[in-house]
């Protein structure tokens, strides 16, 4: 889970390039997106807003990797981006 701790005035989107087949993704709204988010041809671009959280799974139910979870971040153009990550595990983590 990616938690956004600050608003970003411009840029800083989290982009998912391979999220085409997600049945529950929000509709695309290019208004207010940075050129990075538009040019990456991202299937899904999420603008950082303080207090929002983005939950996505990197594995499918059978335990295989889900390529739709591959994501990246666009550069912050104006402001600062603060975020926190919480890893959720399927099984107990043993170091």
Domain-embedded: residue 24:
yes
Task: List the alpha helices (DSSP H) in the chain.
Answer: 35-39
How far apart are the C-alpha atoms of 45 and 62, rounded to whole Å? 26
Is 6 inside any structural domain? Answer: yes
Would 94 be classed as within a structural domain?
A: no
Answer yes or no: are the C-beta atoms of 39 and 15 closer than 8 Å.
no
Number of domains in the chain: 1
Any idea what the Cα angle at residue 25 is, between residues 24 and 26, rounded to 5°? Answer: 115
**In terms of residues, how long is the chain?**
95
Residue 91 lies in a domain: no
pLDDT at position 29 is 62
> Domain range holding 9?
2-85
Of 52 and 24, the structure prediction assigns the larger pLDDT to: 52
90 Cβ neighbours under 8 A, 6+ residues apart: 59, 63
pLDDT at 89: 84
Query: How would residue 27 be classed by pLDDT, with cut points 50, 70 and 90?
Result: low
């Amino acid at each position: 889970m990616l938690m956004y701790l600050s608003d970003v005035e411009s840029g800083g989107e989290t982009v998912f390039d391979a999220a085409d087949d997600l049945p529950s993704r929000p509709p695309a709204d290019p208004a207010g997106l940075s050129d990075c988010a538009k040019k990456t041809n991202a299937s899904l671009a999420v603008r950082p807003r303080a207090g929002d959280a983005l939950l996505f799974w990197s594995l499918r139910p059978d335990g295989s990797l889900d390529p739709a979870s591959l994501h990246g971040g666009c550069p912050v153009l104006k402001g600062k981006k603060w975020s926190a990550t919480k890893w959720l595990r399927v099984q107990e983590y043993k170091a």
